[in-house]
């Protein structure tokens, strides 16, 4: 790993280390900011002692990051428009990374300090959107092109509907438990259990389910939220030291050939569908240059881009043999071809089978650009896992006692945690970032309503206010910071 950073100017190396520290600080804060959501019910119900709950939650967060893949990581990265991702230079990368991280960390710390279960996912996404919009304004790019709005809509939908689904499903699970075992001790609160049964802990089976579901929430939290840190570090590395990280330098000859073959098949795909795509892609027409000025992708330059990529990769068996500028160009070509293929897939007239083929080609095209070195995954896993082991107390009381007008029963804790673990696990399968905070807190609220416990209006209003304000606040803050940083670099 160390040899990757050799030969860098001192100021670039310092900037890089500082940027990496910022990302790991964000993940550390994310750990103790969101820990309470994974351990709140298990601590509040006395199913586990706080120190053990937090320790094992940290361990399962760590494992979740290690085993979670990078699908969600690049879903976050691709919130930025492809034009911003292919325009890599050190100053630009520094401004982008420090602006979005400073905004995200500031908001996370503020909401944690006041004990508000705000979402780190919302915070990060708002910060990324702010950078994209500010970049569009600075470079006179239409705001419609300043952000990957389709990806933003997909992620926004998952963030909006997941708490609603959490509320409803957790309520239904609790209703099912009350119908199945109406007289069970699992419907008691810890206080009732202590007063009536003179017992400190939940019944054995309820305790086991609470512990297992809490660790499951921790694992899926790590596999979802941890990937956001991985995506951020890759933005840092590509933005500051692009020559070393724009492509996976450990790619095998087979992987490179697979990329080259995908490019050839993509060309054949377009020729096969030239009747419907010929005008959109300007097939068979001479277009000057392989990419437009300012590194903006243009579907009408697809054929020159394919030709340039195939020419660059001709005879290449190892990316390390490519000059640094060629590596940057290869990534630029691949991202533009992928972006155009994505747009083509949404055009009318293509058969469903053809669209499926195109999606498979896109995966092969980006196989050596959407990656993360193991040391990046390990660093994020450690930061999130260690962060999980501190700072949990501020939010546990909010989750356990301040959402409903009565304390949480064991059945409510199980319902909320099982729902949260299943929903985030499903989101991981589809590479969608969701908020552990919002899914769990809405799940608890759903069980309170189903249990006819009522909701505390003040706490619910505070959580909803944080939910509503997080996106606009972080968008504005990161946009302002990026504008200032860009002006400073420009001057």
Nearest to 344 by CA among 291, 273, 258, 294: 273
Q: Are 267 and 338 a contacting pair, CB within 8 Å?
A: no
Q: At 399, is the secondary structure helix, strand, or coil?
A: helix
The rounded percent of the chain whose pLDDT value lies above 70 is 86
Residue 259 binned pLDDT confidence (cut-offs 50, 70, 90): very high
| Cβ(374)–Cβ(235) below 8 Å | no
Integer Cα distance of 285 and 52 in angstroms: 67
Contact call for residues 424 and 228 (beta carbons, < 8 A): no
pLDDT value at 117 more than 70: no
Whether pTM > 0.85 for this model: the answer is no
Distance CA 380, CA 42 (A): 25
Q: Has residue 140 got a pLDDT over 80?
A: no
The predicted structure's pLDDT at residue 400: 47
Average pLDDT in the 272-300 region? Answer: 75
pLDDT tens for residues 165-187? 999 999 999 999 999 988 888 88
Q: pLDDT tens, 218-235?
A: 999 888 888 888 988 888
Radius of gyration of the chain from Cα atoms? Answer: 24
**Is pLDDT at 392 greater than 70 in this prediction?**
no
138 or 418, which is more confident? 418
Could you give the C-alpha distances from 348 to 265, 266, 280, in angstroms and in order? 21, 18, 12
pLDDT over threshold 90, residue 34: no
Task: Flag whether pLDDT at 156 surpasses 90.
Answer: no
Q: How many CA atoms lie within 13 A of 303 on its CB side?
A: 17
Arithmetic mean of pLDDT over the chain: 82
pLDDT of residue 403: 54
Residue 319: Cβ within 10 Å count: 20
Task: Grade residue 433 by pLDDT with cuts at 50, 70 and 90.
Answer: confident
Check residue 181 and give its pLDDT: 87
């Amino acid at each position: 790993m160390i040899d990757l950073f050799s030969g860098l100017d001192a100021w670039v190396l310092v900037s890089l280390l500082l940027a990496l520290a910022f990302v790991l600080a964000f993940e550390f804060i994310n750990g103790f900011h969101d820990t309470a959501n994974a351990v709140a019910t298990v601590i509040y119900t006395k199913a586990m002692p706080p120190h053990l709950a937090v320790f094992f939650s940290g361990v399962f967060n760590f494992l979740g990051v290690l085993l979670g893949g990078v699908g969600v990581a690049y879903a976050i990265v691709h919130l930025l428009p492809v034009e911003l991702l292919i325009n890599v230079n050190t100053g630009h990368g520094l401004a982008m990374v420090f602006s979005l991280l400073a905004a995200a960390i500031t908001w996370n710390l503020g909401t944690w300090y006041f004990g508000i279960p705000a979402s780190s996912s919302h915070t990060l996404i708002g910060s990324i959107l702010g950078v994209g919009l500010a970049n569009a304004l600075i470079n006179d790019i239409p705001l419609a092109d300043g952000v990957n709005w389709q990806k933003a809509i997909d992620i926004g939908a998952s963030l909006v509907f997941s708490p609603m689904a959490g509320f409803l499903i957790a309520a239904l699970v609790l209703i099912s438990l009350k119908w199945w075992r109406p007289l069970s001790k699992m419907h008691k609160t810890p206080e009732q259990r202590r007063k009536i049964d003179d017992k400190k802990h939940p019944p054995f089976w309820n305790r086991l389910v609470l512990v297992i579901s809490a660790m499951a929430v921790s694992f899926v939290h790590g596999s979802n939220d941890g990937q956001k840190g991985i995506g951020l570090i890759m933005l840092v590395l590509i933005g500051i030291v692009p020559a070393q990280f724009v492509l996976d330098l450990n790619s095998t000859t087979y992987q490179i050939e697979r990329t080259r073959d995908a490019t050839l098949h993509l060309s054949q795909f377009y020729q096969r569908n030239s009747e419907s795509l010929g005008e959109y892609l300007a097939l068979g027409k001479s277009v000057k240059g392989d990419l437009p000025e300012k590194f903006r992708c243009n579907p009408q330059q697809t054929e020159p881009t394919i030709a340039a990529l195939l020419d660059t990769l001709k005879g290449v068996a190892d990316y390390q043999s490519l000059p640094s500028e060629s590596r940057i160009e290869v990534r630029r070509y691949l991202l533009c071809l992928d972006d155009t293929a994505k747009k083509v897939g949404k055009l009318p007239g293509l058969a469903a089978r053809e669209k499926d083929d195109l999606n498979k080609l896109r995966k092969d095209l980006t196989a050596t650009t959407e990656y993360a070195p193991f040391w990046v995954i390990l660093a994020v896993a450690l930061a999130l896992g260690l962060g999980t082991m501190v700072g949990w107390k501020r939010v546990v009381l909010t989750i356990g006692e301040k959402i409903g007008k009565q304390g949480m029963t064991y059945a409510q804790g199980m319902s909320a945690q099982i729902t949260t673990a299943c929903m985030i696990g499903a989101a991981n399968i589809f590479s969608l970032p969701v908020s552990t905070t919002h899914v769990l807190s809405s799940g608890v609220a759903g069980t309170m309503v189903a249990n006819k416990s009522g909701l505390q209006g003040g706490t619910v209003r505070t959580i909803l206010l944080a939910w509503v304000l997080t996106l606009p606040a972080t968008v504005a803050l990161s946009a302002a910071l990026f504008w200032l940083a860009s002006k400073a670099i420009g001057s």
